[in-house]
A and B are shown apart, each in its own frame.
Chain A
């Protein structure tokens, strides 16, 4: 029922040691040192694979800033894939669902999970995890060990999306 990124990584390490011997030890060491960076991310609990009920910062976010983060091409860049009630911006993507009314379809915890890491709800989704820094493959130099958004920014976007009622 509950899991966080950290526990998952450690569990993988435990299996590797008996199976692969020395290679496993090395891999576990690599995972553990990778984990040190993950600790910069706030820990969170996933409920029923569908919700992260608690705020990553312990505080509610700011909807006004969330709107800005959502639009910013270097941050949320939500418009790349989603149509949104943001009329001043041209060229809304059509890869994901329209976000108009999304605050009526999902509660804050469900929205938070879909921003933090939507693969909890749909492993095959095209949507990136915005709050995940490890376990990614061949990340370009300069982006290694970094999440797309900070905990504050995730909370701001959640606060904004909740306002998008039908």
Chain B
């Protein structure tokens, strides 16, 4: 009897859900859309979205698990782990993924999560910095940002960050490469349009690091920048370069309010 009622309720809910999703098509993507802002999730293929929807299917979760392992592993001449100072990442790292890149006074400029991790490794752990796209760095960045999952992106562009934000914005609108394209030509003017077989997105950054099907692996936002720059036949900047960190700050601001999705899944 109870089972029958449950099934009936489930069926009714499913029907209602079907109606509401039909009614909401034409721009409504739930938490993945804030006003006109749309996460890359909404431009991904349905099968790709399904992988992200299920944490057990999302291959980036393996990177995250490795990051969680590293969190409490001692390293460097100081023989310290992240946990020795920061305790439980679920508390101490909550919100970090939403507010980075953030201004870092000792360096007198904004830095991203990757650079902050290495700064801690070098200065506090007396350990070797990790390479930008190493399994360690991608794992730890994924793990740290995951602690802000679903929190709205909210970077501070005021005060000392403003000139760096302005540089990031200038980069976004500056044409480059033999194809002479600025970020804005594809991601602002043409998001939602097909470029050959690919759907152009708004180029939002809230899902990085991401498991990209094309890469068959997890990669950073700066890897994506380098790919985009090379595709327009322009010399890419280095991983963690000032140019890319400034752009990262500007992109986070453009996507403010979108939920942190790291580590996401994209085409």
Contacts and interface: CB of A to CB of B under 8 A. Distances in A.
Interface in B80-119: none
B176 A138 contact: yes
A137 B185 contact: no
Interface string A68-100: 000000000001110000000011111100000
Interface residues of A, dominant DSSP = loop
Interface in B180-203: 180-181, 185-186, 189-190, 193-197, 200
Given A126-B181, A138-B234, A80 B176 contact: no
A27 interface: no
Contacts of B179: 128, 148
B128 interface: no
B193 A139 contact: no
Given A93-B195, A137-B174, A129 B180 contact: yes
B232 to A, nearest CB: 8
B233 A140 contact: yes
A143 B194 contact: no
Interface residues of B, number: 22
A36 B196 CA distance: 36
A131 to B, nearest CB: 12
Contact of B178 (A90, A91, A95, A148): A148
B175 interface: yes
A136 interface: yes
Contact of A126 (B176, B185, B196, B233): B185
A6 interface: no
A148 B232 CA distance: 12
Interface residues of B, dominant DSSP = loop
Interface in A123-154: 126, 128-129, 132, 136-141, 143, 146, 148
B55 to A, nearest CB: 32
Contact of B190 (A95, A143, A146): A95
Contact of B196 (A91, A129, A141, A146): A91
Interface string B58-94: 0000000000000000000000000000000000000
B244 to A, nearest CB: 13
Q: Residue among B181, B189, B194 with the most chain A CB within 10 A? A: B194
A90 B175 CA distance: 29
Given A126-B185, A139-B233, A139-B235, A81 B176 contact: no
A79 B176 CA distance: 21
A79 B198 CA distance: 12
Contacts of A90: 197
B234 A139 contact: yes
A129 B181 CA distance: 10
A137 B195 contact: no
B177 interface: yes
B124 to A, nearest CB: 36
Interface string B151-166: 0000000000000000
A136 B174 CA distance: 11
Contacts of B230: 140
A37 to B, nearest CB: 13
A38 B174 CA distance: 23
Interface string A144-166: 00101000000000000000000
B189 A126 contact: yes
Nearest to A81: B195
Contacts of B233: 139-140, 143
B193 A95 contact: yes
A140 B235 contact: yes
A126 B178 contact: no
Contacts of B194: 91-95
7 contacts: A80-B196, A93-B195, A136-B177, A137-B174, A139-B235, A140-B178, A143-B177
